[in-house]
Amino acid sequence: MKVEGPYGCFTFDDTCPRQIWVGGGIGITPFIARMKHLAAMGEERPPQAVDLFHTTADVDDDALARLTADAEAAGIRLHILVDSRDGRLNGDRIRAEVPQWRDASIWFCGPAGFGQALRRDFAAHGLVVARRFHQELFAMR
């Protein structure tokens, strides 16, 4: 067995007034950990506004209820999209839900192709992705 990682340096540290988190499928994991940490910090948590987009193919009501509770405890605005019901998440949809996206950093964990598509899309709309788009290296090795 060979154990590797982590690779993406997902620290959530930046000075942007807003963060947009995107967790695709199991890529929600680092965001759950961060929400639990922020909830435990209470009044000490950073003042950034956070929008979390979670897109999934499966509906697990218990898991989504726990995710909703974690977001509420951390003061995070949660957007849940079920692919078959809501369609696919893309840059246009994120920008429509978060009009202040130009002031945000984006933190992504999910399928690599999805992350690359979002990165290209936001770059085409003027986001300085070299500094503001953080992607966890999410792939089976």
Confidence (pTM): 0.91
13 within domain boundaries:
no
CA atoms within 13 A on the CB side of 20: 25
CA gap 68, 30 in Å, rounded: 15
Point out which residues pair with 52 in neighbouring strands. Answer: 21, 78
What pLDDT score does 60 carry? 87
Is the pLDDT reported for residue 112 higher than 60?
yes
64 within domain boundaries:
yes
What pLDDT score does 25 carry? 85
Is the pLDDT reported for residue 141 higher than 60?
no
80 within domain boundaries:
yes
Query: 93: domain range?
Result: 18-135
User: Number of structural domains, the chain?
Assistant: 1
What pLDDT score does 46 carry? 85
Q: What CATH number is given to the structural domain containing 82?
A: 3.40.50.80
pLDDT tens readout for residues 16-68? 999 999 999 889 999 999 999 999 998 888 889 999 999 998 888 999 999 99
141 within domain boundaries:
no
8 within domain boundaries:
no
Q: What integer is the mean pLDDT of 116-133?
A: 97
CA gap 99, 20 in Å, rounded: 11
2 within domain boundaries:
no
What pLDDT score does 136 carry? 85
Percent pLDDT > 70 in the chain is: 91
79 within domain boundaries:
yes
